[in-house]
Amino acid sequence: ETGVTQTPRHLVMGMTNKKSLKCEQHLGHNAMYWYKQSAKKPLELMFVYNFKEQTENNSVPSRFSPECPNSSHLFLHLHTLQPEDSALYLCASSQDYSRRGSPLHFGNGTRLTVT
Amino acid sequence: AQRVTQPEKLLSVFKGAPVELKCNYSYSGSPELFWYVQYSRQRLQLLLRHISRESIKGFTADLNKGETSFHLKKPFAQEEDSAMYYCAVQGAQKLVFGQGTRLTINP
């Protein structure tokens, strides 16, 4: 499969649960991103990994924990979330975070609902 | 800090009419500018970028440094252009998105 794949597509979790979102890219890219998309807010950058090293943490609460074991895989570990964390979480990849003009390729997202 | 403003949340035009989606940005240096599009039930994808000076699906966007704008234009709208459009600005590295404009093309 080509492109950026995210699993699961939908996730419902309680505030005391622990879950993980997964992202995989088959484009040979070196940068991977997590974005949060809420209703009434622009896309918010959460984390960036470039060549497996975290290069951006956009003041994200510690209840969100990213992991990038290699350039093709990215995880977002979730624990003790709040209802306001309900949103669409988008994964993206690009050739290289430091290369300006390099477009992002997005996955379909995981729709997260925190109850 | 970078900021992107898309003043219209919703825009509705008739098929065949011209379309202009507005985008204004703030950034002290020379940014890279993009338009991304999300069609119904599809993923967010790149439409065009300033650096390529390209026209995609009949859309063009001109950078106006004086007005710090990067408006997206198409002379004759088609029904398949109905989608959510996001303007994005890249400074040194970080890509910042606007809030998006939902474009509806009426038959």
> Residue B32 and residue A103: Cβ atoms within 8 Å?
no
Of the candidate ranges A96-100, B4-8, B103-107, the one whose mean pLDDT is the lowest:
A96-100
Q: Calculate how close chain B gets to A110, using CA atoms only, in Å.
A: 11
Mean pLDDT over residues B59-85, rounded? 94
With an 8 Å Cβ cutoff, is A2 touching chain B?
A: no
Mean pLDDT over residues A77-104, rounded? 92
Residue whose entry in the numeric block shows the structure tokens 């600005």: B89
Mean pLDDT of chain A: 93
Whether A18 shows a pLDDT value over 90: the answer reads yes
Give the pLDDT band (50/70/90) at residue B74.
very high
The DSSP string of chain B is --EEE---SEEEEETTS-EEE--EEE-SS--EEEEEEE-TTS--EEEEEGGGT--BTTBEEEEETTTTEEEEEESS--GGG-EEEEEEEESSS-EEE---EEEEEE-
Residue A41 DSSP SS3: coil
- A78 pairs with which residues across the strands? A19, A64
Highest mean pLDDT among A20-24, A100-104, B49-53, B67-71: A20-24
Q: Above pLDDT 70, what percent of chain A? A: 98
Q: Above pLDDT 90, what percent of chain B? A: 74
Whether A1 shows a pLDDT value over 60: the answer reads no
Residue whose entry in the numeric block shows the structure tokens 């940014």: B31
> Residue B93 and residue A100: Cβ atoms within 8 Å?
yes
pLDDT at B53: 78
Give the pLDDT band (50/70/90) at residue B4.
very high
Mean pLDDT over residues B3-21, rounded? 96
The Cα–Cα gap between B25 and B98 comes to 9
- Residue B48, Cα to own-chain centre: how many angstroms? 8
pLDDT at B2: 82
Q: Which residue has the higher pLDDT, B8 or B50?
A: B8
Chain B residues closer than 8 Å to A105 by CB: 45-46
Q: What token pair was written down for A8?
A: 């699961």
The Cα–Cα gap between B87 and B25 comes to 9
DSSP label at A27? S
With an 8 Å Cβ cutoff, is B104 touching chain A?
A: no
> Residue B95 and residue A45: Cβ atoms within 8 Å?
yes
Q: Write the pLDDT tens digit of every residue in A25-63.
A: 999 999 999 999 998 788 999 999 999 999 888 889 999
Of A97, A105, A106, the CB nearest to B93: A97
The Cα–Cα gap between B58 and B56 comes to 5
Q: Calculate how close chain B gets to A43, using CA atoms only, in Å.
A: 6
Q: Write the pLDDT tens digit of every residue in B23-56.
A: 999 988 888 999 999 999 999 999 999 888 788 8
Task: Give the contacts of A46 (CB within 8 A, at least 6 positions apart).
Answer: A33, A34, A35, A36, A57, A58, A60, A64, A66, A76
With an 8 Å Cβ cutoff, is B25 touching chain A?
A: no
